[in-house]
Amino acid sequence: MKTTEVLKKIDKAVMAVLKYLTIALFVLLTLILTANILGRILPVISLQWLDEIVELLFAAMVFYGAAAVWVSKGHFSAGNWIEKRIANPRLKAFYKTLIEVFSLAFMAIFFKYSLDLTMKAGDVTSVFQIPKKILYACMPISAAIMCVYSLFRIGAIVGEVFSPTEKR
Domain ranges of the chain: 3-162
Task: For residues 8 and 14, give the distance between their C-alpha atoms in angstroms, rounded to a whole number.
Answer: 10
Helix, strand, coil abundance in the chain, percent, nearest 5: 75, 0, 25
Q: Is the pLDDT of residue 109 over 90?
A: yes
Of residues 135 and 3, more confidence is placed in 135
Per residue in 36-55, pLDDT (tens digit) is 888 888 877 777 788 888 98
3-class secondary-structure state, position 78: coil
Task: For residues 133 and 123, give the distance between their C-alpha atoms in angstroms, rounded to a whole number.
Answer: 8
pTM comes to 0.83
Q: Determine the Cα angle at 37 with ends 33 and 42, to 5°.
A: 140
